[in-house]
Amino acid sequence: MNSASAPRFAFVGLVVSDMAASVAFYRRLGVGFAEGVEQEPHVEGELPGGPLLVLDTEATIRSFHPAWQPPSGGTRTALAFRCTGPAQVDALYEELTGAGYHGELAPWDAFWGQRYAVVHDPDGNGVDLLAPLPEDG
């Protein structure tokens, strides 16, 4: 398959337990959800940089997949947001944890050359905040 005919990546989807709480969390990270969607069962918002983040309630998923059950034993999904620099990683982490979201990993300078932190969204999904560290010059 050549690249012109290859399927294109479209979105990342999450099943959420509280749409309003999830919309509020991801808006803080710059996801462009329309106003007034907090009570909708399915919403789409453009991620900074282009792709979509799609949120569906458990009831929406069950409407077309009645046997669906939420995963148990932890999550296998993480989203990552690239920040403009290390200071923005620190500021976003402080903003989110200050607003009551769980901070899984406080900002630190990772050995692979990034300032890195992890917070949890309202459903416990890991959301990584990262930025390249300045190069020693």
> Which H or E element spans position 136?
none
- pTM score over 0.85: no
Buried b / exposed e across 15-51, counting CB within 10 Å, b at 16+?
A: bbeebeebbebbeebebebeeebeebeebbbebeeee
Token readout for 128 is 């990584």
Q: Which residue from 84, 80, 81, 106 is spatially nearest to 93, judged by alpha carbons? A: 106
CATH hierarchy code of domain 10-66: 3.10.180.10
> Which H or E element spans position 96?
helix 86-98
What is the domain partition of the chain in residue ranges?
10-66, 77-137
SS3 70: coil
The HSE-up count of residue 61 (CA atoms within 13 Å, CB side) is: 14
Residue pair 94/78 in contact by the 8 Å Cβ criterion: no
Architecture in CATH of 77-137? Roll (3.10)
Q: Mind listing the pLDDT tens digit for each residue in 22-72?
A: 999 999 999 999 999 999 999 999 888 777 778 888 888 888 788 888 877
* 35 vs 125, residue with greater confidence: 35
CB neighbour list of residue 35: distance below 8 Å, 6 or more residues apart: none
Does 77-137 match 10-66 at the fold level?
yes
Q: Mind listing the pLDDT tens digit for each residue in 85-104?
A: 999 999 999 999 999 999 99
